[in-house]
């Protein structure tokens, strides 16, 4: 499962980055939110949540990734939790909000990978 978690990290980071660019594109062209936008956001969020879930499963198996690596995973979870809590405010400018959140989670994912690699 460790190899899956390590490989899927780059998939989740890439999907989140591409989705963030698509969301910024919606902001720039002032395109209304449609099914494509919602699908892209859903895939990006799901990819990150799967990645965090794989990390939690690894931790459950007794693998100690380091406190900073785990911190970044929990911040990703909290980021999506805050988006849910403030979903009414997100309805005002959803494309910009999701673009920033997905860019932020992409950065957190990159930091988690780098910190894990540096600890070994």
**Residue 113: domain span:** 2-118
Q: CA 52, CA 87: separation in Å to the nearest integer?
A: 22
Distances (CA, A) of 39 to 4, 18, 78: 24, 13, 21
Q: CA 47, CA 18: separation in Å to the nearest integer?
A: 12
Average pLDDT, rounded, for the chain: 92
Degrees, nearest 5: CA angle 63-104-34: 115
3-state secondary structure labels for all residues of 65-106: CCHHHHHHHHHHHHHHHHHHHCHHHHCCCHHHHHHHHHHHHH
Identify the residue whose tokens are 């965090």.
Answer: 52
Give how many domains the chain has, as a whole number.
1
Predicted TM-score (pTM) of the model is 0.91
pLDDT at residue 25, rounded to an integer: 97
Does the structure show a pLDDT above 80 at 1? no
pLDDT at residue 120, rounded to an integer: 47
Query: What confidence tens digit (pLDDT) does each residue in 98-108 have?
Result: 999 999 999 99
Query: What confidence tens digit (pLDDT) does each residue in 75-91 have?
Result: 999 999 999 999 999 88
């Amino acid at each position: 499962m460790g190899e899956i978690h390590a490989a899927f990290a780059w998939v989740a980071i890439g999907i989140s980055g591409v989705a963030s660019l698509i969301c910024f594109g919606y902001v720039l062209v002032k395109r209304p939110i449609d099914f494509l936008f919602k699908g892209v956001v859903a895939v990006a969020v799901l990819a990150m949540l799967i990645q965090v879930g794989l990390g939690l499963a690894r931790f459950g198996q007794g693998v100690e990734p380091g406190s900073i690596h785990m911190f970044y995973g929990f911040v990703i979870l909290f980021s999506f939790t805050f988006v849910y809590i403030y979903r009414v405010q997100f309805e005002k400018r959803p494309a910009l909000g999701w673009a920033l959140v997905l860019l932020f989670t992409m950065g957190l994912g990159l930091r988690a990978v780098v910190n894990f690699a540096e600890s070994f």
